[in-house]
Structure 1
Amino acid sequence: MIEPAGEVIFVESVTIKDTVIPKLGLGTWRLADKECRDMVLAALEDGWRHIDTAAMYANEAEVGKGIRSSGVPRDDVFLTTKVWYDKIAPEDMIRSCEDSLDRLGLDYADLILIHWPNPRIPLKESIEGLLELKARGWVKAIGVSNFTSGMMREAQGYAGGALVANQVEYHPLLSQKRVLEAAEELDMAITAYAPIARGRVSDVPVIRDIAKKHGKTEAQVALRWLIQQERVIAVPKTARRERLRENAGALTFELMPDEMDALFALGSASGRTVNMDWAPKWDSE
């Protein structure tokens, strides 16, 4: 079932400290050129107000064009970008952020993340770089990505509690129990990338049964499960407007407690679909 544009009101958000983050955002990994610009524009036209990009995606210029051409006031769009892991020494991070803003054609980012941890660069120094970006007014909020629960605690300690989010792979097939516990302890949000496990949720009987019961798709159920969790945001990526509207359907229904529990029960540490050579040693659950 795909709801037409105009029937979805994008009101669900999470507030961390003074940062309000829409619970559903458009991921732009692997979107490029006109396709990227057009999808960002389509999302904003349909009511989406959270766009996620990164320096490594090489599409910040197109994301910026989509935002500026939409006519949506800048302050109404929550824009996240990321600094690649080889640029997280303080001076490199400052240059990377400046370059990102130049490519985006924007005065500030709402949230900037360390894309991946880098053991060759002291984490304390990287966090100092993030704090400097915030002090300069180039970003409104700071966070991390692909950090384990232990790394979250260490980073938040260096940041004096200023970090608002950790973006990690998260979906019904991958348990992130320890990361979620750390987020609760540290007052951080969790942003879920690969939220439908690269389409694998469609092959899971439990998810199919719940989807059938609600008259929804398996992807909508997976996304609903994520954003129905108190501190969780989802940033599904798509290159098709019909899928964009399908994803927005996650905002139009609620799962029952027993359904939420059934989906939690599917998760394990082995459900990961993204595991780079430079990834940290992940939490065991």
Structure 2
Amino acid sequence: MTDTHLPQPGFGTSGHEGETCTKSVIEALEMGYRHVDTAQMYDNEREVGRALEQADVDRDDVFLATKVHPSNLAYDDVLETTEESLERLGVDAVDLLYVHWPIDAYDAEETLPAFDEVRDRGLTRNVAVSNFTVDLLEEAVDILESPIAVHQIELHPRLQQDELVSVGLEHDIETVAYCPIAQGDVLEMGTLQEIADDHDATPVQIALAWHYEREGVVPIPKATGDHIGENYDALEIDLSEDERERIDDLDRGERLIDPDDAAWNR
């Protein structure tokens, strides 16, 4: 069991680079976001760390997550590269450390005990996984001594992942949704536009409001400029049961992130 509850919403940083990354994270934190998501793969941990240092927000109030690169998932590499991530971020510990993808150097019997070890050493307060299948998630639950706090997956109105969300809830695992607005494709969904018109909102805000109201799900939209506030303001939107059902009907099982070596393709 874990009593960790992620702040809603998260702020995603995939694709953010340089000063734009730092500026956007600072703006998000000072607007009210309290959950920041980065990764070794994103090559921006240092920029995120600068934002944490410069923002007028106490570090203890920020839930900070990073992820171990698939090539770094051998036991010793997990330990070494986690310490390197902390150095780049300028922190003593992260709040959440993920297995980013169960590919490449991932071996459940070797990788997962390393995550127990980094937690035991106090380098992370919680462990997590990302891009797992149901079978791999169940296996990880069995192997890890630490509770899995979070499972991060692609999730949006066209890919609703009901089974993985349900399995997560059974194990007290929260689901973090990446690509929560389907890389902007929600702008082309007529149903979302119709609902948005009724709320004087945007289709993006309606998609995020749907996420926010879904049990056990925390989206991590990435944004710059005015979109940072737009995403945050979606917290104020209350969808009716009929509106939620209309969005539920948009599910098509359509992936946007689908590498050949992903676990679901093996």
TM-score range, shorter chain: over 0.9
Is 1:258 aligned with 2:242? yes
Contact 2:73–2:105 (8 Å) recurs in 1: no
Tell me how many residue pairs correspond in the alignment. 266
Contact 1:33–1:59 (8 Å) recurs in 2: yes
Q: What is residue 186 of structure 2 aligned with on the other side?
A: 201
Q: Deviation of residue 122 (structure 1)?
A: 2.1
Contact 1:224–1:254 (8 Å) recurs in 2: yes
- Equivalent of residue 249 in structure 1, options 197, 210, 233: 233
Unaligned 5+ segments in structure 1 are: 1-15
Post-superposition Cα deviations, 1:213-250, rounded to whole Å, max 9, x if no partner, equal 11111001111111211100000011x22000110111
Percent identity at matched positions?
Answer: 36
Q: What is residue 220 of structure 1 aligned with on the other side?
A: 205
The alignment partner of 2:125 has SS state of strand
Q: What is residue 47 of structure 1 aligned with on the other side?
A: 32
**4+ aligned runs moved over 4 Å, structure 1:** none
Distance (Å, rounded) in 1 between the aligned partners of 2:260 and 2:71: 14
The alignment partner of 2:227 has SS state of helix
Distance (Å, rounded) in 2 between the aligned partners of 1:276 and 1:104: 28
The alignment partner of 1:166 has SS state of strand
Distance (Å, rounded) in 1 between the aligned partners of 2:160 and 2:212: 15
Is 1:177 aligned with 2:162? yes
Q: Deviation of residue 175 (structure 1)?
A: 2.7
CA RMSD of aligned residues (A): 1.5
Is 1:276 aligned with 2:252? no
Post-superposition Cα deviations, 1:67-94, rounded to whole Å, max 9, x if no partner, equal 1111311110011100011111111101
Post-superposition Cα deviations, 1:125-159, rounded to whole Å, max 9, x if no partner, equal 21101111110011011010011111111111111
Q: Deviation of residue 119 (structure 1)?
A: 6.4
Once the two structures are overlaid, the 10-residue window that deviates more, 174-183 or 93-102, is 174-183
Letter in 2 for 1:273: L
Q: TM-score, normalised on structure 2?
A: 0.96
Distance (Å, rounded) in 2 between the aligned partners of 1:226 and 1:156: 25
Distance (Å, rounded) in 1 between the aligned partners of 2:153 and 2:194: 27
Unaligned 5+ segments in structure 2 are: none
Q: TM-score, normalised on structure 1?
A: 0.90
Post-superposition Cα deviations, 1:185-229, rounded to whole Å, max 9, x if no partner, equal 211011000000011111111111111111111001111111211
Contact 2:30–2:55 (8 Å) recurs in 1: yes
Q: What is residue 64 of structure 2 aligned with on the other side?
A: 79
- Equivalent of residue 138 in structure 2, options 147, 153, 159: 153
Is 1:189 aligned with 2:174? yes
Post-superposition Cα deviations, 1:102-132, rounded to whole Å, max 9, x if no partner, equal 1001111000100000265421221101111
Distance (Å, rounded) in 1 between the aligned partners of 2:262 and 2:191: 30
The alignment partner of 1:40 has SS state of helix
The alignment partner of 1:20 has SS state of coil
Contact 2:116–2:145 (8 Å) recurs in 1: no
The alignment partner of 1:112 has SS state of strand
From the superposition, tell whether residues 274 and 200 of structure 1 become closer, same or farther in structure 2 (CA, over 3 Å): same
